Amino acid sequence: MAQDRPALHEQLRKLTAAKRPSLSFEFFPPKTDEAEATLWQSIRRLEPLNPTFVSVTYGAGGSSRDRTTRVTQRIAQDTTLTPMAHLTCVGASLADLRGVVADYAAAGVKNVLVVRGDPAGGPRAEWVQHPGGPRYAVELVKLVRELGNFSVGVAAFPDIHPASVDLDADARVLAMKAEAGAQFAITQMFFRPETYFDLVERAAALGSTIPIIPGVMPVTNVRQVERIAELTGVALPPEVVQRLHAVADEPAAVRQVGVEIATELSRELLDGGAPGLHFITMNRSTATLEVADALGLTAARV
């Protein structure tokens, strides 16, 4: 059974006050029995690191909502981990969303990451509001806060969001979500630490001081990360591309270089004052464990 822990935003506040980094992991719902076995193997391997929380995403267009809910509930009921549910505006009315939140609450899930979500066609497809549903994440933040005593997180974007006019607009949206009741944020993955610190400064200048946890993805597949960057607008710096392409034909070497890049980025983030690290695991555990170990985070948390 999941441990009875304080609300997530309170845990983050205490860690920040103690100058200890938060450590968290992101998973996605599996589509096959084999993929589900891999996911649970990864969860069990990462569980001893005692992460602050773990999250389970939706697919584009809310396509995996039921699987997301099921996996999140199982994490809450069958592990010692603190799960954070994802909730999006895509393809759902307000009544639908209230039902999902009620299901999470019934399973003991008290933490929710609220995002607008990607259309079924992907991040660059045209956004279409569901009839009777919210249009923006700000509205969804308010809804969840009204429905109970939840810790509410939101997304943040060090690199420009595909639908945004500029980085300042992204910071304004983040500040609006904080004003609406969001208590922390998690960024999309990125590869240059200065983009993260610039975002933190822009948000602070607008009065938003909620913790912004950087999202880090250890690259294990060159084509995969290039496709994600193409869809989401994440900038792939030339120096990162060069290092990965130099070993592109050697999967083991790609993973090793990916771990090195993620470790270097993570160290700069923590040294610069980031409140923690949120690892995008792609449902695998080895690369994430290697980065955490290289940073000295494994022994300190088990």
Which of 85-94, 128-137, 162-171 bottoms out in mean pLDDT, i.e. has the lowest? 128-137
Total-model pTM = 0.91
Fold of the CATH domain 8-301: TIM Barrel (3.20.20)
pLDDT at 62 over 50: no
In this predicted structure, the answer to whether residue 101 has a pLDDT above a threshold of 70 is yes
Q: What is the mean pLDDT of residues 30-59?
A: 91
- Mean pLDDT value across residues 253-277: 97
The answer to whether 101 and 147 are in contact (CB under 8 A) is: yes
3-state secondary structure of 211: coil
Position 69 pLDDT exceeds 90: no
Q: Does the pLDDT at position 156 exceed 90?
A: yes
**pLDDT at residue 63 greater than cutoff 60:** no
Coil, helix or strand at residue 187: strand
Residue 61 pLDDT: 45
107-137 b/e with 16+ CB inside 10 Å = b?
bebbbbbbbbbbbeeebeeebeebeebbeeb
Residue extents of the structural domains in the chain: 8-301
Where is pLDDT greater, at 227 or 215? Answer: 215
Mean pLDDT of the chain: 89
Q: Which residues contact 26 (CB under 8 A, 6 or more apart)?
A: 54, 55, 56, 57, 215, 278, 279, 280, 281
Cα separation, 259 vs 286, whole angstroms:
10
Of the listed ranges 96-100, 113-117, 131-135, the one predicted with least confidence? 131-135
Q: Is the pLDDT of residue 44 over 70?
A: yes
Can 26 be counted among the known catalytic residues? yes
* pLDDT tens sequence across 218-231: 999 999 999 888 88
Among residues 26, 139, 194, 201, the one annotated as catalytic is 26
Dist. CA 224–CA 216, nearest whole Å: 15
Rank 54-58, 64-68, 147-151, 262-266 by mean pLDDT and report only the highest.
262-266
For residue 90, name the pLDDT band (cuts at 50, 70, 90): confident
288: pLDDT strictly greater than 90: yes
- Give the other-Cβ count within 10 Å of 166's Cβ: 10
